[in-house]
């Protein structure tokens, strides 16, 4: 293929597929392709929405006035637009589908072809459907090459080989930017979450954390970050964290999997709860995360949920219901009346709850399970204990 050899093709494709390319990098890529094709005009045109509306355009070096004329006719003023729509994702030699006379009779001929010295019979094009970031729906990208002379067979063959790779590259870039947009929205929501959130790699490296998680880790009470790795204050906790993260390695994106809870003991405080789930697909696509970890601090909750209390303190389901009821201000007598049990049964069960929480009075139970000051009903409940 003369100068248009396989090595040249591969070099162009490697640089085209780099997702971190800047606009200037892509423009330079287009200029190089233009030079290889005898000074042809090369453009990548972004189309957004349904029906497609003109988005961003990148072209090889071109007179600004000619670029404006091209934009004026693109895409609906182009006489080969219907042929592209009929062959989405496929390379089109326009001369095989649209007569040169049709191109010559169109407004784009006098306004663009003649002004730029281009040959109306030398047009190669490709239209690819690619996702557009919200709020746009649908859309795609069009690649156009217009020569100043008829293309040689080797040039057409070179572009034909390049076309499917270009289509995939455009689709990947579209997917990449669409995911980046969605991740940015999710990132903002997670950053403002009242719950501590972390994304963990397979080796427990903390890839990202929100401000709540950052403040909990800064306390170095129960868990902390050593270098970039999440570790426990105790070796047993570190090993348990590693086991939980490893459990989700093969289950990324499974929404129905029940979260694994790991209670982490803290000095003189209620345990910190670490909930582990598989990494959401969006986070896994944008990072190396295998697990999403939620940090639940019972001291930051007015009354923790029954399930959280049950798992953190090793209570039975009945004991956790009793603990939440008392922490919410209900007295043993009111609870007995509501559940149609004897007061003695409720008090006996309450003693088991006291033992598991390491307390001796209702007021201490309430202090452990709530962050805020005790209500009047809590004081009344404690007074009732004192009178027995």
Question: Is residue 198 domain-shared with residue 172, that is, in the same domain?
Answer: no
Residue 42 lies in a domain: yes
User: Is 381 within the bounds of a domain?
Assistant: yes
Task: State whether 167 and 28 are in the same domain.
Answer: yes
Q: Which of 300, 321, 356 is the last residue of a domain?
A: 300
Cβ pair 115, 66 in contact under 8 A: yes
Specify the 3-state DSSP secondary structure of 152.
Answer: coil
Same domain, 41 and 108: yes
Average pLDDT of the segment spanning 247-254: 64
Residue scoring higher pLDDT (363 or 211): 211
| Lowest model confidence (mean pLDDT) among 220-224, 260-264, 313-317, 321-325 | 260-264
* Number of domains into which the chain is organized: 3
Q: Tell whether 310 and 286 lie within a shared domain.
A: no
Determine phi and psi for 264, rounding to 5 degrees.
Answer: -115, 115
Q: According to the model, what pLDDT value does residue 229 have?
A: 94
pLDDT of residue 146: 92
Task: Give the least confident one: 24-33, 72-81, 199-208, 236-245.
Answer: 24-33
CATH of the domain at 152: 3.30.450.80
Looking at the fold, whether 129 and 241 belong to one and the same domain comes out as no
Boundary (domain end) residue, out of 126, 153, 185: 185
Judge whether 322 and 313 are in contact, CB under 8 Å. no
Tens of pLDDT, residue by residue over 76-103, are: 889 999 888 888 878 889 989 998 888 8
Task: Look at residue 1 and tell me if it is in a domain.
Answer: no
| CATH number, domain with residue 316 | 1.10.10.10
Q: Tell whether 181 and 32 lie within a shared domain.
A: yes
Q: Which residue has the higher pLDDT, 114 or 5?
A: 114
Task: Locate 219 and state its tokens.
Answer: 């306390």
Same structural domain for residues 339 and 268? no
Please report which confidence band the pLDDT of residue 375 belongs to, taking 50, 70 and 90 as the band edges.
Answer: very low
Report yes or no on whether pTM surpasses 0.85.
no
Task: Tell me the per-residue pLDDT of 3-12, one tens digit each, with 9 for 90 and over.
Answer: 555 566 556 5
Distance separating alpha carbons of residues 205 and 293, to the nearest angstrom: 12
Q: Is the pLDDT of residue 315 over 80?
A: yes
Same domain, yes or no: 199 and 259: yes
Q: Which domain holds residue 140?
A: 6-185
Q: What is the mean pLDDT of the chain?
A: 77
Q: Count other Cβ atoms within 10 Å, centred on residue 56.
A: 11
pLDDT band at 132 (very low <50, low <70, confident <90, very high): low
CATH of the domain at 209: 3.30.450.20
Arithmetic mean of pLDDT, 146-158: 89
CA angle at 369 for the pair 367 and 371, rounded to the nearest 5°: 65
Domain identity same for 274 and 146: no
Task: Give yes or no for residue 382 having a pLDDT over 50.
Answer: no
Residues 135-155, mean pLDDT to the nearest whole number: 80
**What b-and-e string marks burial along 281-299, b requiring 16 or more CB atoms within 10 Å of the CB?**
ebbbbbeebbbbbbbbbbe
Pair (362, 279) in one structural domain? no
Comparison of pLDDT for 329 and 132, the residue scoring more:
329
| Domain identity same for 160 and 262 | no
- Please give the residue that has the higher pLDDT: either 121 or 16: 121
Q: What backbone phi and psi angles, to 5 degrees, belong to 110?
A: -70, -35
């Amino acid at each position: 293929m003369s100068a248009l050899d396989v090595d040249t093709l591969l070099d162009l494709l490697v640089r085209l597929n780099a997702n971190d390319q800047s606009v200037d990098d892509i423009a330079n890529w287009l200029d190089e392709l233009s030079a290889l094709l005898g000074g042809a005009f090369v453009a990548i045109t972004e189309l957004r929405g349904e029906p497609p509306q003109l988005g961003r355009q990148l072209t090889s070096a071109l007179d600004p006035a000619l670029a404006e004329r091209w934009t004026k006719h693109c895409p609906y003023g182009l006489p080969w637009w219907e042929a592209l729509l009929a062959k989405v994702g496929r390379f089109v030699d326009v001369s095989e589908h649209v007569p040169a006379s049709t191109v010559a009779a169109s407004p784009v001929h006098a306004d663009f072809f003649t002004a730029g010295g281009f040959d109306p019979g030398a047009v190669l094009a490709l239209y690819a459907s690619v996702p557009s970031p919200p709020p746009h729906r649908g859309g795609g990208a069009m690649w156009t090459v217009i020569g100043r002379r008829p293309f040689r067979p080797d040039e057409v063959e070179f572009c034909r080989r390049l076309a499917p790779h270009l289509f995939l590259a455009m689709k990947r870039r579209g997917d990449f930017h669409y995911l980046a947009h969605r991740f940015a929205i999710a990132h903002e929501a997670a950053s403002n979450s009242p719950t501590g959130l972390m994304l963990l790699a397979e080796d427990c490296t903390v890839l990202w954390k929100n401000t709540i998680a950052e403040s909990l880790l800064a306390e170095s009470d129960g868990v902390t970050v050593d270098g970039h790795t999440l570790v426990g204050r105790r070796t047993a906790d570190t090993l348990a964290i590693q086991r939980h993260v490893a459990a989700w390695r093969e289950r990324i994106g499974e929404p129905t999997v029940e979260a694994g809870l790991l209670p982490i003991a803290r000095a003189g405080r209620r345990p910190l709860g670490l909930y582990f789930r598989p990494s959401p697909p969006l986070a896994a696509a944008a990072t190396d995360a295998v697990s999403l970890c939620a940090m639940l601090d019972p001291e930051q909750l007015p009354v923790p949920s029954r399930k959280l209390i049950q798992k953190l303190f090793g209570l039975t389901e009945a004991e956790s219901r009793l603990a939440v009821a008392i922490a919410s201000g209900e007295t043993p007598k009111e609870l007995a009346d509501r559940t149609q049990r004897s007061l003695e049964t409720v008090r006996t069960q309450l003693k088991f709850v006291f033992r598991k929480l390491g307390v001796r009075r209702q007021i201490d139970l309430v202090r452990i399970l709530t962050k805020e000051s005790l209500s009047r009903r809590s004081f009344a409940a404690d007074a009732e204990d004192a009178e027995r």
